[in-house]
């Protein structure tokens, strides 16, 4: 009999969602790019697990659901932090397109190639202190 191991990320889902939803433009870029809802007006991460995360977004007055996968299973919150960063850069680059100025249409807290890595440092701390209030 085979048993699936407990998801090591799901227990941190609430805190990861709260942190990422504190960066609404980044979450919106995930919905616009990965969800293929370019007209989405708002987005919220509602769950994170070892394989990816779920977003609900508003697109032309309708609520839509988006699943973004990490590409491989995560085993530590620090891996999720890196994945969020990588996906944010990918979404921004794609949404920016071929704009040579690099800033046309970007949202105020959107990630950029020079985004300081410390933006997501608090996610790393969640892995160390995830069960404390």
Which pLDDT tens digit goes with each residue over 73-86? 999 999 998 999 99
Give residue 80's pLDDT.
Answer: 95
| Residue 65 · residue 54 · CB < 8 Å | yes
Q: Show the domains of the chain with their CATH numbers.
A: 10-129 (3.20.180.10)
* Residue 54 bridge partners (DSSP): 47, 67
CB 43 within 8 A of CB 27: yes
Contact 91, 29 (CB under 8 A): yes
Encoded tokens for 29 = 């870029």
Please give the radius of gyration of the chain, using alpha carbons only, rounded to the nearest integer: 15
Beta bridge partners of 40: 59
Residue 55: strand pairing partners: 45, 66
Question: What are the tens digits of pLDDT across the range 116-129?
Answer: 344 445 444 444 44
Please give the model's pTM, rounded to 2 decimal places.
Answer: 0.74
């Amino acid at each position: 009999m085979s048993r699936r191991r407990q998801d090591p990320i799901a227990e941190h889902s609430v805190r990861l969602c709260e942190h990422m939803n504190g960066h609404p433009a980044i979450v919106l870029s995930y919905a616009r790019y990965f969800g293929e809802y370019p007209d989405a007006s708002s987005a919220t991460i509602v769950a994170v697990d070892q394989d990816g995360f779920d977003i609900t977004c508003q697109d032309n007055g309708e609520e839509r659901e988006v699943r973004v996968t990490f590409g491989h299973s995560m085993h530590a919150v620090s891996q999720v932090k890196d994945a969020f960063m990588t996906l944010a850069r990918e979404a921004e680059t794609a949404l920016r397109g071929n704009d040579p100025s690099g800033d046309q249409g970007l949202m105020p807290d959107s990630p950029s190639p020079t985004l300081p890595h410390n933006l997501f440092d608090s996610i790393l701390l969640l892995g160390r202190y995830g069960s404390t209030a």
